[in-house]
């Protein structure tokens, strides 16, 4: 007998990062995760690893803690500095568009909502220097999107940030670090 489950938008986005386009459903993606988990050596479990170094919480880049209520202190995508989560995802898409050569190829690897042309409604903004508009996203979605592109293009990505002192922030007033290198 099938069961109906409800998952958050963030969880669904993370499942989409794992899924193979056109081949996987949420059910088959969850089965892949269960198979992976059940066959893993749990003695060195790093699913949500958080390490504290010099007062900075270092997060697992492929499965970070909740980034809600974070403010970027500094960031870099390959060799370009970024000031905030939107800059990060914009730079990742700009770089991918240049590398891949077409909007159609970019659309295949992007998990962000993108539009060919200048769209300025529903949170979309044109990515400077391109003919692509991207819809604004939260920090969790922005990191996931930029990381997927960084992995696809084998580019370095790093974000230093601080959780704000707000209800819902998982580490209020604490600095954090996300980093991935090819």
Residue 21, classed as helix, strand or coil, is coil
Q: pLDDT tens-digit profile of 15-54?
A: 777 766 666 777 777 777 777 666 654 443 444 455 666 6
Q: pLDDT tens-digit profile of 102-123?
A: 999 999 999 999 999 999 999 9
Q: pLDDT tens-digit profile of 122-166?
A: 999 999 999 999 999 999 999 999 999 999 999 999 999 999 999
Task: Report which of 86, 74, 70 is spatially closest to residue 163, judged by C-alpha positions.
Answer: 70
Residues 84 and 146 placed together within one structural domain of the fold: yes
Structural domain including 35 reads 9-41
Beginning with the edge strand found earlier in the chain, give each strand of the sheet holding 70-77 in spatial order: 50-53, 56-59, 175-180, 157-163, 70-77, 80-82
Instruction: With respect to residue 26, please indicate whether it lies within any of the assigned structural domains.
Output: yes
**Residue 127 · residue 149 · CB < 8 Å:** no
Total domains present in the chain: 2
The mean per-residue pLDDT over the stretch 67-96 comes to 95
Instruction: With respect to residue 24, please indicate whether it lies within any of the assigned structural domains.
Output: yes
Kindly write down the DSSP assignment for every residue of 68-135, as one continuous string.
Answer: TTEEEEEEEETTEEESSHHHHHHHHHHHHHHHH-SHHHHHHH--S-EEES---STTEEEPTTSSEEEE
Residues 154 and 115 placed together within one structural domain of the fold: yes
Residues 105 and 136 placed together within one structural domain of the fold: yes
Instruction: With respect to residue 73, please indicate whether it lies within any of the assigned structural domains.
Output: yes
Instruction: With respect to residue 144, please indicate whether it lies within any of the assigned structural domains.
Output: yes
Residues 23 and 84 placed together within one structural domain of the fold: no
Residues 98 and 171 placed together within one structural domain of the fold: yes
Distance from chain centroid for Cα 38: 25
Residues 62 and 150 placed together within one structural domain of the fold: yes
Instruction: With respect to residue 4, please indicate whether it lies within any of the assigned structural domains.
Output: no
- pLDDT at 42 (0 to 100): 44
pTM of the model: 0.71
- pLDDT at 82 (0 to 100): 95
- What is the pairing mode between strands 70-77 and 157-163? antiparallel
């Amino acid at each position: 007998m099938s069961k109906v489950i409800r998952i958050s938008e963030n969880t669904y986005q993370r499942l989409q990062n794992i899924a193979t386009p056109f081949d996987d459903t949420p059910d088959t993606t969850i089965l892949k995760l269960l198979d992976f988990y059940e066959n893993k050596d749990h003695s060195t479990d790093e699913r949500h690893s958080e390490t504290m170094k010099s007062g900075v919480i270092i997060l697992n880049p492929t499965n970070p803690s909740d980034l809600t209520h974070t403010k970027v202190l500094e960031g870099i995508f390959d060799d370009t500095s970024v000031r905030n989560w939107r800059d990060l995802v914009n730079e990742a898409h700009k770089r991918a568009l240049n590398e891949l050569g077409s909007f159609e190829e970019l659309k295949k690897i992007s998990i962000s909502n993108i539009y060919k042309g200048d769209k300025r409604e529903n949170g979309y903004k044109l990515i400077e220097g391109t003919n692509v508009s991207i819809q604004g996203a939260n920090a969790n979605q922005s990191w996931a999107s930029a990381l997927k592109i960084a992995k696809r293009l084998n580019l370095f990505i790093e974000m230093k940030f601080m959780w704000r002192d707000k209800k819902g922030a998982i580490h209020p007033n604490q600095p954090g670090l996300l980093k991935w290198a090819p």
